[in-house]
Amino acid sequence: MPNIDWNRRMVFGSVLGIAGLPFISQIASAQDLGKILGTLGGGQPSNNNGLGLPNGVTNVQADSGIREALSNGAISAVLRLGRLDGYWADGAVRIPLPNPLGSLQRNLRPLGLSRSLDDLQLKVNRAAEIAAPQARNIFVNAIRAFTISDVVSVLRGGNTSGTDLLKQKTKPELISSFRPPMLNAVNTSGAGPVFDRVATRYGRELQRLGGLGRISSADGTQTSQSASPKDQFVDYAVSKALDGLFYYIGREETQIRQIPAARTSDLLRRVFGSN
């Protein structure tokens, strides 16, 4: 069973209170949710109906529990990664250099010649750590704006269905929001100048491996053909930084669904069961 950081959970409560994240308070919303779920509606206890909820949980509680679980996961991920060594010291989310830079780095390392590339990788991870806090308000606002249909899809989904929905709703805005601070962080952290030195020093080798123009973002989207290699590099770094955030949001959601000790409030214990 994983360790649960109880002090961190207390921080979540404070942050959520400041954010003012609402949990459906109007009876009409509960009635609509009841209609969609096929339950009694109007905040009456659910009878399970194959949704995996314990008996006695109201529609309002189900709605609130989903939002609280995702908020915990999102804020946890931001706090975890948006600090020194948040990405760099974590092998699960550490950002690698994109190919062909990564291939060149691996080829040169046994020869003791990869120092500048290793420095570039360190600095781009530092840039991600600086940019990560930008995601907090975007996550909070997206969860606040969840519709009743969204909540139902999460209730009926798998272990990371809430994370997947949050990614779908926020990733375009996150990319737009992350890119300016990431670009600035890449430059101020020293990654930008290092990138330029690497491109100059290893230009021939990089061209042999396919050229810097082949760098693409980690989610498979291609940057503009006219984008500079550095711009493409920043786009890649942004996407990898976001992948790390969603990795930890998904892990938190899975733990809350599967592990009783991870349900750190009465609401979470009621909605996700006690077993």
- Domain borders along the chain are 6-272
- Please give the average per-residue pLDDT across 163-191, as a whole number: 87
Q: Write the DSSP assignment of the chain as a string of letters.
A: -----HHHHHHHHHHHHHHT------HHHHHHHHHHHTS--TTPBP--TTS-PPTT-BHHHHHHHHHHHHHHHHHHHHHHHSSTTTTTT-TTTPPPPPTTHHHHHHHHGGGT--HHHHHHHHHHHHHHHHHGGGHHHHHHHHHHT--HHHHHHHHTS-TTHHHHHHHHHHHHHHHHHHHHHHHHHHHHTTHHHHHHHHHHHTHHHHHHTT-GGG---TTSPPPPTTS-HHHHHHHHHHHHHHHHHHHHHHHHHHHHHH-GGG--SHHHHHHH---
Give yes or no for residue 251 having a pLDDT over 60.
yes
What is the pLDDT, as a whole number, of residue 57? 78
pLDDT at site 107: 87
Residue 52: is its pLDDT beyond 70? no
131 or 201, higher pLDDT: 131
Q: What is the pLDDT of residue 99?
A: 79
CA 37 to chain centroid, in Å, comes to 28
User: CA 264, CA 271: separation in Å to the nearest integer?
Assistant: 12
> What pLDDT, on a 0 to 100 scale, did the predictor assign at position 269?
87
pLDDT one-digit tens code per residue, 59-105: 888 889 999 999 999 999 999 999 999 999 999 999 999 877 888 88
Q: Read off the pLDDT of residues 19-31 as tens digits, 9 standing for 90 and up.
A: 344 433 333 344 4
CA distance 270 to 267: 5
As a whole number, mean pLDDT of residues 44-61 equals 61
Return the pLDDT at 37: 44
